[in-house]
Structure 1
């Protein structure tokens, strides 16, 4: 499996691995950047471990991790990935997304999601994209709903967080047949940013 490089005039997503993750060390230290995630990236060692898990998944063909480069700010912004890739059923998850606070609200995330959804549906020919979000994370929930994803259900108390809290996870989905109208809406959003 060869990882794609996904890019437009605003963002470049390329394979995240142990040779380039250090570009993210400063961003990863930002306070509460991944508060709603069970992962920990707060130190260089923890970030490296986080990336190692993604690299292992890449070699097992279940994850494609990306490092995010903001072309307008000429700076590395964070990370995102395709995960839980089910090649047989043609379903994958988009998530594990975090970008520095200064990149949030700039349209960068909409550009990232557009490229990832386009690749999933138009290149891979997958049937469905899923997003899993902490029920308490209203900012991320609104962002995914703005994309056009449908809330399919809530998994109650299914994930153990770093602080011992058992979170409930909202499951959102986009089907292949919904992509054309979502694509048009996202293109308009990107154009207006």
Structure 2
């Protein structure tokens, strides 16, 4: 499996995350609105350095494929995302750790990115299942996941402790390989990605 893929469509470019991306990502990562709900909280240069180091260590361990996200329309770096929890023996992965500049939220960038990642996961990586999870309190994320055709599977109670110490309930969603052709047409067919 390629742990350094480049994935793109007309709107988004996903390139392997590297330490050199720190400077471009820092002003985005320091937007407090990105971290109001969720397990992560980046509030310093050191915090972003640690985030990148952790992502790269997971790539080395072949459990994640982290990306820097470039908005091709705006011609600038917009944030991060990754395939995580990769279980090749079971042909599954999660799409997560997504954070995008607040100025670009609602612009269609996230939908273009999820389309590119789902298409690559099912059509190139040949995975059977993609998972998404989010904080029960993150209504924006829950709605976004449902809007791309995923199925809510359930809520894991007291699943995680956030960086702020709150005990979090986590909502799980998934999409299966058999569902992808219909979702690709019904959900994404109206877009010109």
Q: Normalised by the shorter chain, which TM-score bucket?
A: over 0.9
Q: Is the 8 A contact 1:159 1:168 kept in 2?
A: yes
List aligned pairs for 1:94-173, cutoff 5 A: 94-173=95-174
Distance in 2 of aligned mates of 1:189 and 1:105: 17
Question: 1:189, CA displacement in angstroms?
Answer: 4.4
Q: 5+ unaligned residues in a row in structure 2: which ranges?
A: none
Q: TM-score scaled to structure 1, two decimals?
A: 0.95
Question: 1:186, CA displacement in angstroms?
Answer: 3.5
Question: 1:182, CA displacement in angstroms?
Answer: 1.0
Q: Is the 8 A contact 1:62 1:84 kept in 2?
A: yes
Q: TM-score scaled to structure 2, two decimals?
A: 0.95
Aligned to 2:178: 177
Question: 1:174, CA displacement in angstroms?
Answer: 0.3
Question: 1:8, CA displacement in angstroms?
Answer: 1.2
Aligned to 1:34: 35
Question: 1:164, CA displacement in angstroms?
Answer: 1.2
Distance in 2 of aligned mates of 1:86 and 1:75: 32
How big is the alpha-carbon RMSD for the aligned residues of Structure 1 and Structure 2?
1.3
* Count, aligned residues: 192
Alpha carbons of 1:189 and 1:42: their partners in 2 closer, same or farther (altered >3 Å)?
farther
Question: 1:162, CA displacement in angstroms?
Answer: 1.7
Question: 1:21, CA displacement in angstroms?
Answer: 2.6
Question: 1:184, CA displacement in angstroms?
Answer: 1.1
Distance in 1 of aligned mates of 2:35 and 2:177: 29
Distance in 1 of aligned mates of 2:191 and 2:4: 24
Q: Is the 8 A contact 1:39 1:50 kept in 2?
A: no
Distance in 1 of aligned mates of 2:110 and 2:182: 19
